[in-house]
Chains A and B, each alone.
Chain A
């Protein structure tokens, strides 16, 4: 059994230490908001927060998480809507298919925490998640909106 702190709750997980955190979250903890897109930490659909920093959970092994506090999209806000990034996403109608958006939102929330008023260049550097529907223009606009509302 390995202890895992997810969204403020400690879970006892019966999975091998070399299981990717993404699959532990999805299949052992039962939180499916973090998505599988590539499995090689390229697309960012699996993005979560690890002690406040954005992390690609498909590339992190359970045994390496230790005491770190994990926050998934399910834990970003109590009602799933009230985080400033989620509000801005709704205002700009960002999602199309929506599959990558958990990861996009987690990446944006982490960006704004460290950089409350990001420039376009800072958004470019931080937001490397893949969206095949092509919502990037609205992702950028929504991040600026969230920044104005004081996301951090």
Chain B
């Protein structure tokens, strides 16, 4: 079932990539019809604002509404992008708001607003060039309009906080007073953006633009949508991935309260449509269904483990990074250290389950959805409805969590397939938590066999990291495999990202071992697992070499000075060289990913009975330029909750071909009482724009794992920790 929507997205993403390429060549002047299209479907324009360029709408009361193409899922991108535009505009931040550009408007405007995909921590760093120029263009237009009104040269005018001043005379005009005239001017093709020293809003921990409505219950998430004549749907998918519907007995539930339809959505999905969702869900639970579970019904976590173990010493493997001769280096080593690590499948478990509303009127399909990619939602809806892209309308809602899950459009496709069978009325499809837990795109299961060779002086001379496990691209985007290899598998371990290239003999390779379980991009993606394997193993190697874990790492990071600096910054803040209270132990680690450098120091004690207490986390980030330091801190804090949930308790296991865990009672995640105090250290070195939402997760678990080893002498190599006895003498 995923295959069909994936094919749709594949074709579509080609187009998006081509457009992104065009943007990378330089600022494209939006075409005139782009403005008209944007004006046609914009709440701010409908409310009387005027478009000054395409990125900002200015109201006569001076409010500036910044257009947002990416999605807000909690990561703060909406506010960060608004800061970038507003700063270049010299807007008054207290009067700045934001609104989404509708995907169909972007489409009709030849994607004037760029890529809508919100993942890979790219929301800001991939938009920064064109949104800043958009802000600068708006400012130029506002100044030009004011100068024209006064009949003075533009060069005599200056802008600040939403006001244009004619310097020689001291006359002023507010943006709201000149917006209507500015909107009629041509958008300048050639604008210069500010130097970092000129920023007034960027770099400040300004308040988020989307907080207030999240405190009152008023924000309408996709699950909260209420439309006239709306029906509600709950779905059941074959619990065994790859299985199909055998039969179901609709007559048994058609008489239940509110029930309108029992539908076959596709080969593996059944929906009950009712007046209210609770009625649909109650009928779905009562619906007799026979599944044709197919060939995967015998797969278990044990059989998957055997499959992965076969890759650890397999002859054939894709090479990710190679220098020198690792095999010879290991053979010639004075001492060899070896260890096998492993991590399980993990569900994203967004708090808002998958939800989408769709309405089919015979020619147009309209959807209301929280999606990480508005473009892809539009394409998936068109594909499922069998209509042209131009016949789709997408209403974007803020996401109740994304974490990579809502880049996949399976739920949009299902909602459209349901709506097509119930023409004329909007149908809101909500997945139950159990459906959400058992039909995710899981973080892929992998193992790693790590081998290191030390010379007689304890220098690390050879390292072989053999990954075995599932490939995300093989499941989602096989056309992006490179000669069969999945470059995403080597995140953190490729030539651009690997921090320890001073190791003379190096081999990192991957024996691909795919399963029938759908996998996807889980916040932080493969950096998380790879960092657990490498950063914990490096501690093992440092111990074998008789070296301090910090000194050992710093000694290998010469080729990556910014990674070295961020690790040093974390160590300094944590006063690494100072002794800790008795019974408290440190662990450290570092990683480079999503364009940012991160490092962490954990201070941990473990009781004799094996109870872990984290006393303190120090986390350092160098994301180049820090757009909003307070929101960066929020992302760093949250990354520890996400990463440490995976360390301590979360896992998805497989029995009889299906995911065992059905809800948060068995898929355990971190709660407030377990969250350590996280001290965020931001060390923005400038000169680049790095990601923020994901990079820190990679350093969360290894820092704590290394501290646990220091406290207990027990080296944990498989997650989650709940399966391990950490009691010690």
| Interface residues in chain A, defined as those with a beta carbon under 8 Å from any beta carbon in chain B | 16, 19-20, 23, 26-28, 30-40, 42-43, 45, 72-74, 77, 79-81, 86, 89-90, 93, 95-102, 105, 123-125, 127-140
**Contact A30-B226, Cβ < 8 Å, known A96-B76, A105-B215, A136-B641:** yes
Q: How far is the CA of A89 from the CA of B403 in the complex (A)?
A: 23
Query: A29 CB to closest chain B CB, in angstroms?
Result: 12
Complex interface residues of chain B between 317 and 366 (CB less than 8 A to chain A): 349-353
A32 B634 Cβ-Cβ under 8 A: no
Interface centre among B210, B211, B220, B630, by most chain A C-beta atoms within 10 angstroms, is: B211
**Contact A96-B634, Cβ < 8 Å, known A27-B278, A86-B215, A132-B349:** yes
Q: How far is the CA of A97 from the CA of B222 in the complex (A)?
A: 13
**Contact A32-B220, Cβ < 8 Å, known A132-B350, A132-B403:** yes
A42 B663 Cβ-Cβ under 8 A: yes
Residues of B within 8 A of A (CB-CB), count: 59
A127 B672 Cβ-Cβ under 8 A: yes
Q: Is B75 an interface residue (CB 8 A)?
A: yes
Q: How far is the CA of A71 from the CA of B174 in the complex (A)?
A: 44
**Contact A42-B665, Cβ < 8 Å, known A27-B278, A97-B73:** yes
Query: A74 CB to closest chain B CB, in angstroms?
Result: 5
Q: Is B640 an interface residue (CB 8 A)?
A: yes
B567-596 CB mask vs A (1 if < 8 Å, else 0) is: 000000000000000000000000000000
Interface centre among B208, B349, B675, by most chain A C-beta atoms within 10 angstroms, is: B675
A38 B398 Cβ-Cβ under 8 A: no
14 A/B residue pairs, CB under 8 Å, sorted by A: A27-B277, A32-B226, A42-B663, A42-B664, A73-B216, A81-B212, A95-B215, A98-B214, A128-B671, A128-B672, A136-B671, A136-B675, A137-B678, A140-B672
Instruction: Look across to chain B and name the residue whose beta carbon is closest to the beta carbon of A19.
Output: B278
Q: Is B433 an interface residue (CB 8 A)?
A: yes
Residues of A within 8 A of B678 (CB): 137
Please give 8 more A-B residue pairs, beta carbons under 8 A apart, in addition to A95-B74, A135-B634: A37-B352, A38-B663, A45-B351, A93-B630, A96-B76, A98-B398, A135-B637, A136-B641
A132 B217 Cβ-Cβ under 8 A: no
Q: Is B58 an interface residue (CB 8 A)?
A: no
Instruction: Look across to chain A and name the residue whose beta carbon is closest to the beta carbon of B402.
Output: A97
Residues of B within 8 A of A34 (CB): 217
**Contact A99-B351, Cβ < 8 Å, known A27-B278, A36-B430, A139-B672:** yes
A134 B675 Cβ-Cβ under 8 A: yes
Q: Is B207 an interface residue (CB 8 A)?
A: yes
B400 A99 Cβ-Cβ under 8 A: yes
Which of A35, A42, A80, A128 is in CB contact (< 8 Å) with B352? A35
B216 A81 Cβ-Cβ under 8 A: yes
Which of A16, A19, A99, A132 is in CB contact (< 8 Å) with B221? A99
Query: A121 CB to closest chain B CB, in angstroms?
Result: 9
A102 B217 Cβ-Cβ under 8 A: yes
A80 B277 Cβ-Cβ under 8 A: no
Which of B224, B232, B402, B675 is in CB contact (< 8 Å) with A32? B224
Instruction: Look across to chain B and name the residue whose beta carbon is closest to the beta carbon of A79.
Output: B216
Q: Is B531 an interface residue (CB 8 A)?
A: no
Which of B277, B433, B673 is in CB contact (< 8 Å) with A37? B433
Instruction: Look across to chain A and name the residue whose beta carbon is closest to the beta carbon of B400.
Output: A99
Q: How far is the CA of A27 from the CA of B74 in the complex (A)?
A: 26
B215 A138 Cβ-Cβ under 8 A: no
Query: B628 CB to closest chain A CB, in angstroms?
Result: 10
A134 B217 Cβ-Cβ under 8 A: no
Instruction: Look across to chain A and name the residue whose beta carbon is closest to the beta carbon of B224.
Output: A32
**Contact A90-B351, Cβ < 8 Å, known A20-B278, A133-B638:** no
Interface of B is mostly: loop
A130 B223 Cβ-Cβ under 8 A: no
Q: Is B193 an interface residue (CB 8 A)?
A: no
Q: Is B69 an interface residue (CB 8 A)?
A: no
Query: A40 CB to closest chain B CB, in angstroms?
Result: 5
Q: How far is the CA of A128 from the CA of B638 in the complex (A)?
A: 16
Q: How far is the CA of A100 from the CA of B641 in the complex (A)?
A: 15
B670 A134 Cβ-Cβ under 8 A: yes
Q: How far is the CA of A72 from the CA of B216 in the complex (A)?
A: 10
B650-674 CB mask vs A (1 if < 8 Å, else 0) is: 0000000000000111000111110
Q: Is B218 an interface residue (CB 8 A)?
A: yes
Q: How far is the CA of A128 from the CA of B58 in the complex (A)?
A: 44
B665 A23 Cβ-Cβ under 8 A: no
Q: How far is the CA of A90 from the CA of B209 in the complex (A)?
A: 11
Q: Is B478 an interface residue (CB 8 A)?
A: no
B433 A39 Cβ-Cβ under 8 A: yes
Which of B208, B216, B223 is in CB contact (< 8 Å) with A36? B223
Q: How far is the CA of A100 from the CA of B223 in the complex (A)?
A: 13
**Contact A96-B74, Cβ < 8 Å, known A42-B665, A86-B216:** yes
**Contact A131-B217, Cβ < 8 Å, known A38-B664, A98-B74, A138-B634:** no
Which of B74, B630, B664 is in CB contact (< 8 Å) with A133? B74
Q: How far is the CA of A15 from the CA of B635 in the complex (A)?
A: 42
Which of B276, B433, B640 is in CB contact (< 8 Å) with A38? B433
Residues of B within 8 A of A33 (CB): 216-218
B663 A134 Cβ-Cβ under 8 A: no
A95 B630 Cβ-Cβ under 8 A: no
Instruction: Look across to chain A and name the residue whose beta carbon is closest to the beta carbon of B665.
Output: A42
Residues of B within 8 A of A96 (CB): 74-76, 634, 638
A81 B215 Cβ-Cβ under 8 A: yes
Q: Is B399 an interface residue (CB 8 A)?
A: yes
Q: How far is the CA of A26 from the CA of B670 in the complex (A)?
A: 27
Q: Is B219 an interface residue (CB 8 A)?
A: yes
Which of A42, A43, A136 is in CB contact (< 8 Å) with B672? A136
Instruction: Look across to chain B and name the residue whose beta carbon is closest to the beta carbon of A123.
Output: B672
Residues of A within 8 A of B214 (CB): 95, 98, 101
Residues of A within 8 A of B75 (CB): 96
Instruction: Look across to chain A and name the residue whose beta carbon is closest to the beta carbon of B215.
Output: A86
Interface centre among B207, B221, B257, B671, by most chain A C-beta atoms within 10 angstroms, is: B671
Residues of B within 8 A of A128 (CB): 671-673
Instruction: Look across to chain A and name the residue whose beta carbon is closest to the beta carbon of B76.
Output: A96
